[in-house]
Structures are given as C-alpha cells and as structure tokens.
A and B are shown apart, each in its own frame.
Chain A
Amino acid sequence: MADFDNELDASGLNCPLPILRAKKTLAGMDSGKVLRIVATDPGSVKDFEAFAKQTGNELMDSGEEGGKFVFRIKKA
C-alpha cells in the first residue's frame, strides 16, 4: 500500500510553479489525505516548509530521492 493518496510530479518546474500546483492539487483533496510531491527546484525545500507553516497543512516529511526532492503533505 502506498503511503500517500495523491502524487504530484513537479520535476523541471521552477518557482513558484511547484507551490501553485501543490495548492491546486490539495484543493481537490479531502482533509487528512496525503499528497506526495516530487520536485527538482532546490528552492522548493524551504518553500514547502514555508507553505505548510502558512497554510496549516502538515509537512510530514521532506527528503531527497535519486537527486530529486520529495515531500509529503497532509491536508488540514
């Protein structure tokens, strides 16, 4: 079983697109569901932290996998 409900591939996209796409995807999800985001923009590491803090969605984890940045955000 996958440990997320939706996935967003923001590879190749630059600021602020990963955040905008994530926001849009989260808007279509139910509270408590988990969105996994894959990004290549190094700025997205701090940006998703800030996004979670300001929107109340929970950043469950943030890490690197095969040279890409991977985040899991739980919708508030």
Chain B
Amino acid sequence: MEEKKLAIIATKGTLDWGYPPFILASTAAALGYEVEVFFTFYGLQLLKKDLDLKVSPLGNPGMPMPMGMDKWFPTLFTALPGMEAMMTAMMKKKMASKGVASIEELRELSQEAGVRLIACQMTVDLFDMDSSQFINDVEYAGAARFFEFAGESDICLYI
C-alpha cells in the first residue's frame, strides 16, 4: 500500500492555533502518512527555538474564560494590559492539568516521526528573522517547493 500524504500550511502563531498543525501532523505520521508542514507568515513563530506563544480573548468571543467571565465580562475589557498574559497563563495551566501536550512536545514528536517542516523563505526575510532563531532540521523554501509535495497529497489543509 502506498503511503498517504498530508500537506499542511500553518499560518497562525498563537498558542491555540499552534496546536492543530502539530496534532494533525504527528497523528498522521503515526498512522503512516508522509507529512509536510509549510510555515508561513505568523506560523513561523511555531518554529522558534524559544516559543513565546500567547492566546487572547480579544476578538475571540467564542473563547471560554475562567470563572464564567465570558458571560459578564465586557469584550472591550479583554484589551486591558495584562489580560493576554493572564489568559495565556491560565490556558497553559489548564492544558497541563488535562494532560494536553505542550506545543514543544508535539513539535518534537512530529519531527521524530519524520514530519518535514518547511519555513517560507520569503516571510523569514520579510520579518527579518534568522534561521538561528529556529529549531534544527527545518527546510527553507518557497511556494513551488510546497506544491511539489501538496500536488501529490491526499489531504491538504490550510490552518
């Protein structure tokens, strides 16, 4: 049986949106898929050695907040200084207590399982980033490189 292929474009760099690419990539690899993830724009944050990902309730009315705050806390107040840091800390604590892996762990498991990670060279340049900021074993390439694999993929996701 020929290996199935999963291609993912990861475009977001927040703590919540950082999960789907790595959860799907690592699981697909465990199921025997060949997997490539192309990181572009804010998604590049997910490749940094030192992850500093945050989650914000601002502009996200669907986000459940601690103590039922989402029911009575005015949306505008979520813009207050310190709210993002507080929500991020609470989210991380919640995840750890529920046995949800960290992004770092899922990223490592993905690489271990043979998932190929590709950084969009154009956005790396655009944001004046440097490969020294990123983890090892990342490939730097452009859109054509993505299509080389995505064109033959069975599943292609834009996250």
Contact = CB atoms under 8 A, between A and B. Distances in A.
Interface of A: 12-17, 19-20, 22-23, 40-41, 51, 54-55
B31 A14 contact: no
Interface string B29-72: 01110000000000000000000000000000000000000000
Given A15-B23, A16-B23, A20-B109, A51 B99 contact: no
B32 A54 contact: yes
Interface residues of B, number: 13
Question: Ordered nearest first, which 10 A-B pairs have the shortest CB separation?
Answer: A23-B30, A14-B99, A16-B27, A12-B99, A13-B99, A54-B31, A14-B100, A16-B23, A17-B101, A20-B30
23 contacts: A12-B99, A14-B100, A14-B101, A15-B23, A16-B23, A16-B30, A16-B101, A16-B106, A17-B101, A19-B30, A20-B26, A20-B109, A22-B30, A23-B30, A23-B113, A40-B99, A41-B99, A51-B30, A51-B31, A54-B31, A54-B32, A55-B30, A55-B32
B99 A20 contact: no
B98 A14 contact: yes
